[in-house]
């Protein structure tokens, strides 16, 4: 059974940093691209970033480019999202998601439960 | 960026009746080299993460009831629930994965009338 458990969320002040982790199990992480998608309270889904299975290719939404970094450690079955220079508008539930193939242009086929990030003073 | 729009914003349908949700992309998401539409549909129930329903615009994900079907090509797509059940109350999103950023539609909320 595919499991994606995101952690690392919490309350952070504007300008601060957080590192989200996503522990993957039930599948071979190194074979699949992975994504982060966020959802502000009461709002719709916003795509954040994607990384290929090997980690060689990464893409970001314009709203986070230069502030967020996606990475992965396939040996630890873990996906990461380093978030710097956080803003109030980054407040959201952050979902990690498995894609259906190793390339970034595959679709998301499974979503984890998400972790809440709140940016506030 | 490809802009995704959905209509209606919300709809209420009687149990057993058909629900139809439309999704439109600002440019084609049909990849000519493989003739596939890079368009997916997700269902999100309150307090839960989204769940994949349909990929390649019209291929139902394994385990998804056959009352859900997707259709369309190019820029215009439809998700149909042929006979609405109580457990189908949710928000439905389309998403394109043709070009970065992989944009979502704003969502359509489906309720029981």
pLDDT at A41: 97
What values do phi and psi take at A89, rounded to 5?
Answer: -70, -5
CA distance B26 to chain A (A): 17
CB of A88 closer than 8 Å to CB of A109 = no
The gap from C-alpha A25 to its chain's centroid, in whole angstroms, comes to 16
CA distance A89 to A57: 26
CA distance B97 to B71: 16
CA distance B69 to B56: 12
- What are A68-110's pLDDT values in tens digits? 999 999 999 999 999 999 999 999 999 999 999 999 999 999 9
Residue B97 contacts A, CB cutoff 8 Å: yes
The set of residues, in sequence order, having a beta carbon less than 8 Å from that of B41 and lying 6+ positions away, is: B23, B52, B53, B54, B68, B70, B79, B92, B93, B94, B95
The dihedral over CA atoms of A49, A53, A54, A55, expressed in degrees to the nearest 10, equals 10
Average pLDDT of the residues in A48-65: 97
CA distance B71 to B21: 11
The burial class, CB within 10 Å (0-12 / 13-18 / 19+), for A113 is middle
pLDDT interval class at A55 (50, 70, 90): very high
pLDDT at B85: 98
Closest chain A residue to the Cα of B29, Cα to Cα:
A105
Average pLDDT of the residues in A43-48: 98
- What residues in A contact B100, CB-CB < 8 Å? 50, 59, 104
Q: What is the mean pLDDT of chain A?
A: 97
Average pLDDT for consecutive 10-residue bins of chain B (113 residues)? 98 98 98 97 97 98 98 98 98 98 98 97
- What residues in B contact A45, CB-CB < 8 Å? 42, 44, 50, 93, 95, 104, 107
pLDDT at A109: 97
Do the Cβ atoms of A107 and B40 come within 8 Å?
A: yes
pLDDT at B19: 98
- CB-nearest partner of B49 from A44, A60, A114: A114
pLDDT at A76: 97
Do the Cβ atoms of B95 and A45 come within 8 Å?
A: yes
- CB-nearest partner of A45 from B50, B52, B55: B50
pLDDT at B39: 98
Residue A61 contacts B, CB cutoff 8 Å: yes
DSSP character string of A56-96 = --EEE-TTTTTTEEEEEEGGGTEEEEEE-S--GGG-EEEEE
Any bridge partners for residue B24, and if so which?
B5, B76
Average pLDDT of the residues in A11-39: 98
How many angstroms separate the Cα of A118 from the Cα of each of A46, A62, A84, A90? 16, 20, 13, 8
pLDDT at A37: 98
Residue A106 contacts B, CB cutoff 8 Å: yes
CA distance B41 to B94: 4
């Amino acid at each position: 059974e595919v499991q994606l458990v995101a952690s690392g969320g919490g309350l952070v002040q504007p300008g601060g940093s957080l590192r989200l982790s996503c522990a993957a199990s039930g599948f071979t992480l190194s074979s699949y691209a992975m994504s982060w998608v966020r959802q502000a309270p009461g709002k719709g889904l916003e795509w954040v970033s994607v990384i290929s299975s090997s980690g060689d290719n990464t893409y970001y939404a314009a709203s986070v480019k230069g502030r967020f970094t996606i990475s992965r450690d396939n040996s630890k079955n873990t996906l990461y999202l380093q978030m710097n220079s956080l803003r109030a508008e980054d407040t959201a539930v952050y979902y990690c998601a498995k894609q259906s193939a190793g390339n970034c242009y595959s679709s998301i086929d499974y979503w984890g439960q998400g972790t809440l990030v709140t940016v506030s003073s | 960026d490809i802009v995704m729009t959905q209509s209606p914003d919300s709809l209420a349908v009687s149990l057993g009746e058909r629900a139809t949700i439309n999704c439109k992309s600002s440019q084609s998401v049909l990849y000519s080299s493989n003739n596939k539409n890079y368009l997916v549909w997700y269902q999100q129930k309150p307090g839960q993460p989204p769940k994949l329903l349909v990929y390649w615009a019209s291929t139902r994900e394994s385990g998804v009831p056959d009352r859900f079907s997707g259709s369309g090509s190019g820029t215009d797509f439809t998700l149909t629930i042929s006979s609405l059940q109580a457990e189908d109350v949710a928000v439905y999103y389309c998403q394109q994965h043709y070009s970065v950023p992989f944009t979502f539609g704003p969502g359509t909320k489906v309720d029981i009338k």
